[in-house]
């Protein structure tokens, strides 16, 4: 039986990867901080859990044991993380590092966390320039991308068979800040209208589609970078309709102009101009998505309806301000 170790296996990507590998007949070991975040379905399927911090190198070596067929790191944010991963990767047939589309820059050097939105000429390929590697705090808008690039280069320069995946906006059960809740809560509250500031598209990446790509490269070890996203990139109007329909609701859609009050209708997919990842390289390797956005988002929506987020973010659900605007029109 093939064996996999998933670092950060209780997060939205890690649990999807574990589920896919278990379904494919793998023996799966995941690490994390809180065993309670391991879904019961994974426990029933036989996943093994170890409470290990990402910086606990001895604990990670113990979890690795004598070696694995596949090593997946969902928590590699810095060059230091990458350097600590290399000794483990030497005992794996294939290694996967989760990076991000946040590394890409446009012709003016802007990226998704810049003060100025990037403008790409078309679908973004893996050959698109990236930010320069850096070592500033990785949990900051300025430091996230540079640290990811530093981690990517450290691993790829090792010469080991490491696949770097660059997802876009990740969605799936277990997400700590589920973007879909912005529309789902409104649909469940039976709001008669939804306000939308902009109709830009921001490519989504279903965790199950990322997992499908991980399962693929597990059997095709190599040194490469691949974009990881859904096969389609619906705009926000389509996304709002998909989510409302899942809740059995429909509403009037109000597209806001530049004269609307600041912040009103600012949804999580506000991305103008749009960002779409080119998946040609993934398809060339043999990528077969689990489904499009409308299909793959359903499991997350069911999860959210069964266990709504505790912290809804009052600024995102200011119905009084929305109603006042609608009355003024």
Mean pLDDT by 10 residues, the chain (329 residues): 96 98 98 94 96 95 96 98 97 98 97 94 97 94 96 98 98 93 96 90 96 97 98 95 97 90 88 92 98 98 89 73 92
Q: What pLDDT is attached to residue 313? A: 54
The span from the CA of 83 to the CA of 86, in Å, is: 5
Q: What pLDDT is attached to residue 209? A: 98
The span from the CA of 138 to the CA of 142, in Å, is: 8
Backbone angles phi, psi at 139, to 5 degrees: -95, 25
Q: What pLDDT is attached to residue 133? A: 97
Q: What pLDDT is attached to residue 258? A: 80
The span from the CA of 52 to the CA of 38, in Å, is: 14
Is the full-model pTM beyond 0.85?
A: yes
Q: Give the H/E segment covering residue 60.
A: helix 57-64
Q: What pLDDT is attached to residue 314? A: 54
Contact present, 60 and 31 (Cβ < 8 Å): yes
Q: Which of 130-138's residues contact partners 24+ apart within 8 Å by CB, and which partners? A: 130/103, 130/104, 130/105, 131/103, 131/105, 133/79, 135/78, 135/79, 138/77, 138/78
230 Cβ contact list (under 8 Å, min separation 6): 203, 204, 205, 206, 209, 289, 292, 293, 296
């Amino acid at each position: 039986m093939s064996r996999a170790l998933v670092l950060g296996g209780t997060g939205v990507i890690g649990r999807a990867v574990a589920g896919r590998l278990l379904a494919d007949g793998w023996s799966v070991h995941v690490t994390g901080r809180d065993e309670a975040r391991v879904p019961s379905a994974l426990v029933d399927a036989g996943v093994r859990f170890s409470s290990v911090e990402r910086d606990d190198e001895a604990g990670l070596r113990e979890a690795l044991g004598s070696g694995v067929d596949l090593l997946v790191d969902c928590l590699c944010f810095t060059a230091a993380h990458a350097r600590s991963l290399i000794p483990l990767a030497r005992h794996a047939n294939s290694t996967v590092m989760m990076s991000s589309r946040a590394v890409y820059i446009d012709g003016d050097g802007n990226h998704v966390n810049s003060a100025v939105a990037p403008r790409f000429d078309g679908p973004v390929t893996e050959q698109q320039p990236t930010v320069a590697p850096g070592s500033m705090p990785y949990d900051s808008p300025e430091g996230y991308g540079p640290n990811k690039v530093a981690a990517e280069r450290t691993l790829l320069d090792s010469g080991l068979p490491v696949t770097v995946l660059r997802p876009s906006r990740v969605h799936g059960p277990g997400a700590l800040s589920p973007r879909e809740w912005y529309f789902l809560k409104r649909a469940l509250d039976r709001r008669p209208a939804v306000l939308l500031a902009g109709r830009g598209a921001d490519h989504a990446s279903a965790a199950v589609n990322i997992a499908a790509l991980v399962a693929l490269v597990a059997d095709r070890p190599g040194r490469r970078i691949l974009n990881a996203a859904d096969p389609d990139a619906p705009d926000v109007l389509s996304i709002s309709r998909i989510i409302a329909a899942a809740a059995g609701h429909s509403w009037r859609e109000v597209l806001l102009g530049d004269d609307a009050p600041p912040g009103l209708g600012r949804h999580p997919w506000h991305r103008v101009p749009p960002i779409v990842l080119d998946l040609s390289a993934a398809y060339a390797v043999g990528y077969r998505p689990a489904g499009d956005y409308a299909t793959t988002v359903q499991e997350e929506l069911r999860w959210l309806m069964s266990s709504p987020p505790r912290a809804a973010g009052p600024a995102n659900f200011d119905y009084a301000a929305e109603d006042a605007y609608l009355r003024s029109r």
